[in-house]
Structure 1
Amino acid sequence: MTEQHVTADDSERTPPPLDHQAHRRTQRRRALVSSMLGNVVEYYDFAIYSTAASLVFGKVFFPTSDSVTGTVNTFGTLAVGYLARPLGGVLFGHLGDRIGRKIALLITLVAMAGATLLIGLLPGYARIGLWAPILLIVLRLIQGLAVGGEWGGAVIMSVEHAGARRRGLMGSLTQSGGSLALLLSFGAFSLLDGLDERTFLSWGWRLPFLVTIVMLGIGLYLRLKVEESPVLEAACDGGERTVKPRTPLWDAVRDRPRALLLGIGLGLGPFAAYSVLTTFALSYASGQLGLPRQLTITALMISSGGLALGIPLFAALSDRIGRRPIYRVAILLMMVNAFVVFQLIQTRQAAAIIIGFVISVSVLHAATIGLLPAILPELFPTRYRYTAVSVAYQLTSAVSGGLTPLFAALLTGPGGPGIIAVSVMMAALCAVSAGCALALRETRDVDLVNA
């Protein structure tokens, strides 16, 4: 291993000159801030669609006298975005591994913001008929492609710029950007709660989509100031890879199939629980339980704020005691909680509902999903890390995060087995993740350059 390789991953072991140390600290801060805020922009855009899908789109783009059919159609378009995410992971992962992380991340940011702005300007079914849902699906597809390439690149930039002893924390702060985005999303719609139903459906819901233009400008400014990943540059300069991979996805499937499967499995349970609670639970609470819309939004805002704090706390702890013990305990508790949380929602008591969301999101979700930004990059070598991490994360997001709200709506519709079946579905996916956690080796001490 050359000296350059060592300093690329862990400057604490072989200190470089002071001026180089100062430069690296500056770039480390820029990488962290740009990745975190870029993730806020991307996931805010993705999250406001999920919120609007629960509250608005069934009436604006899929008008029907059958509310259940409208809900299923709406969650179907929601699933389109999730299903596009693995393809986005392959596309932008390929670009990131071959031409660099920075360029790929700039493209994802512009694509996401552009699609979100157009959704905010899109006429409804009453004005353009079937073109409204068709164009909505196309724009949602673009959103899915963009966010599919965003997460992997953002966490890799943070982790590859970090020292070896702080990878969990640095990666988790990027992940926290996603929870802050969800908080901003619910906050934006909460500010519109004073509007009457007609005004909200006419133009009020569009405002959270249109403010994306401001966030786009901030995100681009920050990302243009960040240099390429030092781990990638070290690998390109004669270490792990002297030739850029022609087919990063095939290399990952051929060389690390077990790591890919474990990476996919680790996210199934957390994504299922989170997606059901942040999308399906909104329509379930207001439509079937008759609860005010603001109550569930408030519960999600509080729990999302707790999530933004919980993710770095559990990740920092994983830097000290390891990733496996924290994840294993949390995923087992999440299996049990799948049955508890809906019992709390069905009490129709505000305090019980908020407690249920805080336990589910701020604690258990934080302790599982918050470790993946470190675990996944530590499973794969530099030459196809962007592709492998993106595909693993986004594939589980598509399968678990995208389809579970749709299945939950079907299970609780007329003739369905009811809410207990939703809990069984969530627990079963958590059980798969628990099995993967048992098979996972500890990754905390992996050298990223020679992973």
Structure 2
Amino acid sequence: MMSNTPSTSSTEPVAIDTATLRTPQMKRILASSFLGSAIEFYDFLLYVTAASLVFQHIFFDNLPPAVAVFASFGTLAAGYVARPIGGIIFGHYGDRLGRKGALVVSMVMMGLATVVIGLLPTYAQIGVAAPILLVVLRVLQGIAVGGEWGGAVLIALEHAPGGRRGFAASFANLGAPAGAAMATAALGLATLLPADQFQDWGWRIPFLLSAGLLAVGLFVRLKVVESPLFQTFEKEAEKRRLPIIDVFAKHWRVVVLGVLVAMSQLTISGMASAWAVNVAVTAGADSTGVLTSKTLAAVAMFVATIVGARLCDRYGRRPILAIGIIAAILFAFPFVFLAQGGTVLSFAVAVFVAQGLQGFILGPLASFLSELFPTAVRFTGASLCFQGASAIGTGFTPLVAAALMTAGGTILLGSVWVAVLVLCLIAVFIAREGRTLDLSDIH
């Protein structure tokens, strides 16, 4: 059972015990949470970057350029829409049968879908079947990553001592910038090929590399033991037929707040990972330089995630989230202007700061969302919040941003983004602070 944390106010620092995160079992759990998440997000975010650079040319080359870009971002959105479905499906089995099994299945599904994308014929080869198959595989990716996040967070959070839950849970979130860096670096190396070779076959190599990553990830993940909190609840959990019904019946207000809070980080992801890449390259920035900048920005996000996670264990989840969101509000307009600068330097500044802020918010987010729900529905509830926000905040952000730029330009896009972030900030202060709660006592 988890140890109780001191009963303190939400902003008063608490003592942090680091020894219990250094046992061999805890190290294995944290490594599995990080590595598995990094591999899954490598696969998932590799698609995001490829959709910005190449898919409109090989899967939608029968469409006008502007429509092809929109269609390419549409397939990207399909994966994000599928993420809440994955969260519900894997959350159901994770809450009833255990966290570990859900993690293994989600990893296999993601790896296989990614490899098949790397082998997919183009529109010129098989016609309309190519984009249809691309959408199907993207949906499978979305379902898989929808299950990965909740399981990877909870397997770490539910093993960790109370005073270190925020930092432990963040290892799953650290996988996102690590996976993004690997994906961007892999595709960036591929762009060093002559343009015709990159368009023809070079872009496939990073997708095919997923087969090797899958083997490594499974080797580590199969050694992880089940969550102790779930083990104490297992017999009752097997009798629970549909956790999703309990979530909507008893916790729907919490879900709404959780989705809004998570959207703060995930709208930044949509703007920096997809929209800004396409806009910068279209405006004349060198694609290799853009991808290199994005790789370095992912490193900044990685470091900022660690900082945010460590601070949230000491000062609480809400204060750190609020600081990150306020900073994002202040940087929204500069980001939009810089992304359209047409140079690698302007893009680099925009994405480096944006992803640093994204990481600072991401650090406390996993523990914040997980501590909103009791053990019986924690996998389903936390996954629904994060993946629902992902579908809205990241999946549709590039599409909405493109539409807003067409309708009203930079001012309209920046204004809408600021308004969304303000709503996210309000939700932070309404939702419950969970730093000092015992997970077994949350009802």
Show the counterpart of 1:95.
93
Partner in structure 2 of residue 267 of structure 1: 262
Alignment of 1:231-310 (within 5 A): 231-236=229-234, 241=236, 244-287=239-282, 289-310=283-304
TM-score between the two structures when normalised by the length of structure 2: 0.93
Farther-moved stretch of structure 1 (441-450 vs 223-232)? 441-450
Provide closer, same or farther for how the CA distance between residues 138 and 33 of structure 1 changes in structure 2, counting only shifts above 3 A.
same
Instruction: Kindly state the Cα deviation for residue 350 of structure 1 after the two structures are TM-superposed.
Output: 4.1
Report how far residue 371 of structure 1 moved: 1.2
Partner of 1:408: 401
Contact kept in structure 2, 1:245 and 1:384, CA below 8 Å = no
CA spacing shift, 1:24–1:356, aligned 2, 3 Å: closer
Aligned to 2:440: 449
User: Residue 299 of structure 1: CA displacement?
Assistant: 2.0
Query: Residue type matched to 2:254 in 1?
Result: A
Question: Contact 1:324 / 1:442 at 8 angstroms: preserved in 2?
Answer: yes
Asked if the contact 2:80/2:391 (under 8 Å) is kept, the reply is yes
The CA distance in 2 between the partners of 1:39 and 1:183, in whole Å, is: 13
Q: Deviations over 1:181-200 (max 9, x none)?
A: 00001100111222111100
Please name the residue that 2:416 is paired with: 425
Aligned counterpart, 1:174? 172
| CA distance, structure 1, for counterparts of residue 315 and residue 405 of structure 2 | 41
Q: Which one of 361, 364, 374 corresponds to residue 367 of structure 2? A: 374
Task: Say whether 1:318 aligns with 2:309.
Answer: no
Q: Over residues 238-292 of structure 1, what are the superposed CA-to-partner deviations in whole Å (9 max), with x where a residue is unaligned?
A: xxx47642110111122222221111110122211221111011111111x2111
1:130 aligns with: 128
Deviates more, 1:109-118 or 1:291-300: 291-300
The corresponding residue for 1:202 is 200
**Distance in 2, Cα, partners of 1:412 & 1:295:** 24
1:174 maps to a residue whose letter is: A
1:187 alignment partner in structure 2? 185
Moved more, 389-398 or 327-336: 327-336
Residues 40 and 242 (structure 1 numbering): CA distance in 2 closer, same or farther, change over 3 Å?
closer
Partners of 1:319 and 1:147 lie apart in 2 by 26
Identity %: 38
Find the aligned partners of 2:340 and 2:60 in 1 and give their Cα distance.
28
Judged with a 3 Å threshold, the aligned counterparts in structure 2 of structure 1 residues 436 and 68 are, in CA distance, closer, same or farther, namely: same
The one-letter code matched in structure 1 to 2:241 is: R
Give the match for residue 140 of structure 1.
Answer: 138
* Inter-CA distance 342–123: structure 2 relative to 1 (3 Å threshold): same
Tell me: CA distance 1:173–1:79, structure 2 relative to 1, closer, same or farther (3 Å).
same
Q: Is the 8 A contact 1:71 1:409 kept in 2?
A: no
Name which of structure 1's ranges 346-355 and 214-223 shifts more when overlaid on structure 2: 346-355
Contact 1:34 1:226 in 2 (8 A): yes
User: Which amino acid in the other structure matches residue 214 of structure 2?
Assistant: L
Match of 1:151 in 2: 149
The 1:207–1:277 alpha-carbon spacing in structure 2 relative to 1, beyond 3 Å, is same
Q: Distance in 2 between matches of 1:89 and 1:108?
A: 10
2:66 matched to which residue of 1?
68
Q: Deviations over 1:326-362 (max 9, x none)?
A: 1112112211211111222344454443232222111
In the alignment, is the contact (CA less than 8 A) between 2:170 and 2:366 conserved in 1? yes
Partner of 1:16: none
Figure out how many residues of one structure are paired with residues of the other and give that number. Answer: 430
Q: Give the AA of the match of 2:264.
A: G
- Output one character per residue of 1:374-432: Cα deviation in whole Å (capped at 9) or x when no partner: 1111111101110111111101100111011111222334xx32233222232122111
Paired residues of 1:322 and 1:444 also in contact (CA < 8 A): yes
| Alpha-carbon distance in 2 for matches of 1:225, 1:380 | 27
1-structure distance, mates of 2:64, 2:262: 34
Relative to structure 1, the CA distance from residue 95 to residue 352 in structure 2 (aligned partners, 3 Å threshold; closer, same or farther) is same
Unmatched 5+ residue regions in structure 2?
A: 7-18
Moved over 6 A (4+): 21-24
Decide which of 371, 396, 401 is 2:389's aligned counterpart.
396
Match of 1:342 among 322, 336, 340: 336
- How far off is 1:296 after superposition? 2.0
Residue type matched to 1:75 in 2? F
Distance 1:182 1:129 in 2: 31
User: Residue type of the partner of 1:258?
Assistant: R
The one-letter code matched in structure 2 to 1:438 is F
- Say which is worse superposed, 276-285 or 403-412, in terms of deviation: 403-412
Q: CA RMSD in A?
A: 1.9
Once the two structures are overlaid, the 10-residue window that deviates more, 351-360 or 35-44, is: 351-360
Q: Does structure 1 residue 437 correspond to structure 2 residue 428?
A: yes
Distance 1:254 1:65 in 2: 45
Point out the more displaced range, 366-375 or 94-103: 366-375
Q: Map 1:37-116 onto structure 2 (within 5 A).
A: 37-64=35-62, 66-116=64-114
| Secondary structure, counterpart of 1:417 in structure 2 | helix
Measured in 2, the distance between the counterparts of 1:72 and 1:34 equals 36
Letter paired with 1:132: A
**1:447 & 1:434 partners in 2: Cα distance?**
25
Deviation of 1:298 after TM superposition, in Å, equals 2.1
Q: Which amino acid aligns with 2:51?
A: A
Q: Secondary structure at the match of 1:412?
A: helix
* Cα pair 2:117 2:207 within 8 Å, conserved: yes
Q: TM-score, normalised on structure 1?
A: 0.92
- 8 Å CA contact 2:177, 2:299 repeated in 1: yes
